[in-house]
Amino acid sequence: MGLAKYLMSQRRSAYQKNLQNILKLALRNKKAKILDLGCDNGVWTMRVAKKIGTLDVFGVDLAAKRVLLAKNNGVKVLCRDIGKKLPYENNVFDVIHANQVIEHIANSDLFISEIYRLLKKGGYAIISTENLSSWHNIFALVLGYMPFSLTNTSCKTGALGNPLDAHSNEEFCWLSDAWQHQRVFTTIGWKHLFELYEFTVEKMLASGYYPFGNLFSGIDPYHSAFITFRIRK
């Protein structure tokens, strides 16, 4: 197995652990009204809703075909750009979920402020994203390559400036800006941003500790691949 393929297998394992972490942070509340930002086809949205125990499920996604699928899967969904102000009233949701979307948003301040506006007092958000200070990103930088978390920033290639990326030998590109990473922060950077918007960082879980699978991610979240926060208003 080549290095690129090995890293991709590590990523898949880390991502599955990341999904488990999201469910761990989802608290049981049958009366909760939840919003999934970047809900895609709604399958994972409804899995999170099932863990919480609610059927009052809303979602937003930009891809019209995925929005239709989400609607068919039971999500009250809007086709909107989640990087802009959303057409909901203030203080209406108990839970907001955003998995692997915040790194695609150009205006992080607007995104976080919208989450704060939409949450009820005492409500919480579960936000999961990639970690710029993960060891595999640091290793790439030491070699002079682009960090893995920022190789999908061009419409011409999915492996910009990094020959170790799994997409480097494929005819692959991110055709839409919406699929490209705009900003990737370190764990400390995200925590600081949440606190600037008056959120309390209640809990943080990590996954992926390349090249050791998920073995050390519970000990050292600051160098893990994926980081998931529960932040409370």
Q: Minimal CA–CA distance to 186: which of 148, 104, 130, 142?
A: 130
CB environment 123-148: b (16+ within 10 A), e (fewer): bbbbbbbbbbbbbbbebbeeeebbbb
Q: Are 114 and 54 in contact (CB under 8 A)?
A: no
User: Looking at residue 5, what DSSP letter applies?
Assistant: H
pTM listed for this prediction: 0.93
Q: For residue 177, what pLDDT is reported?
A: 67
CB atoms within 10 A of CB 19: 17
14-132+182-232 domain in CATH 3.40.50.2300?
Answer: no
The residue ranges of every structural domain in the chain are 14-132+182-232
- Long-range (24+ apart) CB contacts under 8 A made by 145-153 are 147/184, 148/7, 149/103, 149/181, 149/184, 150/181, 150/184, 152/179, 152/180, 152/181, 153/180, 153/181, 153/182
CA 44 vs. chain centroid, Å, equals: 12
Q: For residue 8, what pLDDT is reported?
A: 72
Q: For residue 6, what pLDDT is reported?
A: 74
Query: Could you tell me where the DSSP H helices lie in the chain?
Result: 3-25, 43-52, 64-72, 108-118, 135-142, 187-196
Per-residue pLDDT 10s for the chain (233 aa) are: 566 677 778 778 889 999 999 999 999 999 999 999 999 999 999 999 999 999 999 999 999 999 999 999 999 999 999 999 999 999 999 999 999 999 999 999 999 999 999 999 999 999 999 999 999 999 999 999 999 999 988 888 888 999 888 766 555 555 566 678 999 999 999 999 999 999 999 999 999 998 888 889 999 999 999 999 999 99
Bridge partners of 96?
35, 125
Q: Are 122 and 231 in contact (CB under 8 A)?
A: no
* Cα–Cα distance for residue pair 149/101, rounded to 1 Å: 13
Q: For residue 100, what pLDDT is reported?
A: 95
Kindly report the CA angle at 124 between 121 and 128, in degrees rounded to 5?
A: 155
How many Cα atoms occupy the beta-carbon half-sphere of 27 within 13 Å?
Answer: 17
